[in-house]
Amino acid sequence: MSDLTRLTAADLAAKIHSREVSAVEVAQAHLDRIAAVDGGVHAFLHVASDAALASAALVDDSIAAGTAPASPLAGVPLALKDVFTTADMPTTAGSRILEGWRPPYDATVTARLRAAGVTILGKTNMDEFAMGSSTEYSAYGVTRNPWDPSRVPGGSGGGSAAALAAFEAPLAIGTDTGGSIRQPAAFTGTVGVKPTYGGVSRYGLIACASSLDQGGPCARTVLDAALLHEVIGGHDPLDSTSIDSPVPSVVAAARQGADGDLSGLRVGVVRELGGEGYQPGVQASFDAALRQLEKLGAEVVEVSCPHFEYGLAAYYLILPSEVSSNLARFDAMRYGLRVDEGASAEAVMAATREAGFGPEVKRRIILGTYALSSGYYDAYYGQAQKVRTLISRDFAAAFAQADVLVSPATPTTAFPIGDKVDDPLAMYLNDLATIPTNLAGTAAMSVPSGLSDGLPVGLQIMAPALGEAVMYRVAAAYESTREPLVAPEVSA
């Protein structure tokens, strides 16, 4: 393995910008790494070798000409979840219904990465339309966890997390609808951030559930995630839900936190997100993390969020309802797959959706259509939205008592491939600790907190809306006390 693939994004950027190494060398090292190991990981759906090298060469030319780098991450490679549109690469959202589709435009996140000089290596695998917790629901095959190839990397953004853990990229982009950044981060020993809803543009992000989806940074260190967060964040007039306010100063907060001093901060332990139902090793790792936070000077207090117990049920009514609406656009009439069966438009639509959608997508469309149907809307969708309000109030009350909240990121470590794919409820329970944040629209992240039986465990840190700075500070302080988690060497 090239030493370049082991470096952090911050260190790579420093070497590139000082001309110690070239961006082309860095890109080639990561492309070589992908070629060597991705056959056994399957993190990528599309590798854009020529485009990546061309992008890196532009950075080198600019630096050689004496021009300041376009951003602190100019020349650093990145893996992009295949749910963001890219005009020069296929965008499938992990679905056969979009197989081979090349969008006519870039997502805002894609455009901001390009403008920052970030080298996009390619598109990563994911659960179809971001519906899943294991990346087993991809139409293009399962991604494997670099820590143990017999286990899942989490989902829906398992490809992005696995690429980081396998040292195929130092940075990645994911999306988080109910935990799809944080859960894979926990399962792979990496860092994953779900920003405040509206903090990162959703323009060009293929929608799963529009009131829940949020793009965010994935990395191997807290500082790297912060650097990427500042590149992709900020107001976008093309996204009507985008927050018109500056990006929180997360890089400064991460650097401040690295000194390991949390004096004066209050950390709230959410009573309802722990204990029974959590794997003993996961709970033990969380308890050890709390002790460490106290050593850093934080005051640890218990808080109660009594309506969190209804979060899972509310989420699995709201999300399928929005899925039912959003996926109506895939009708075989405008773009994507078209199965020409039958004489009528209705027959073509039915045949195409039958062939193009996988079982989990169909399940959620059916659930959502039922929940929105006449006579059931108030009883299901309406009630779920009321629960959402109560959860937001729980957060508000908890943040009145603490600067950040913490919990285990997931109830278990990574589970074996195939273990839960035929049991939807068991699969849904993986998101037990992460869903409340999506329902409330607040910020959260997962940072590595150790191993349980040789598999990574994640610590979830939650903050109020636009409170990312204190979240990054706590995460960086905690990270400073731990050695990085490094997955065993993977093979093709």
Catalytic residues: 81, 156, 180
Residue 169 near residue 418 (C-beta atoms within 8 A): no
CA dihedral sign of residues 34, 37, 43, 44:
positive
* Cis previous bond, 156, omega within 30: yes
**Residue 171 burial (10 A CB sphere; 0-12, 13-18, 19+):** buried
First and final C-alpha spacing in the chain:
13
- What is the Cα gyration radius of the chain? 21
* Ordered strands of the 44-47 beta sheet: 44-47, 119-124, 77-81, 171-175, 215-219, 191-194, 443-452, 455-463, 404-408, 266-270, 299-303
Q: How many CB atoms lie within 10 A of CB 241?
A: 15
- Count the Cβ atoms, other than its own, within 10 Å of residue 222: 30
Residue 277: Cβ-neighbour burial (10 angstroms; 0-12, 13-18, 19+): exposed
Among 109, 120, 124, 123, smallest CA distance to 54 is for: 120
User: Which amino acid type is present at position 337?
Assistant: L
Tell me 490's DSSP state. Answer: P
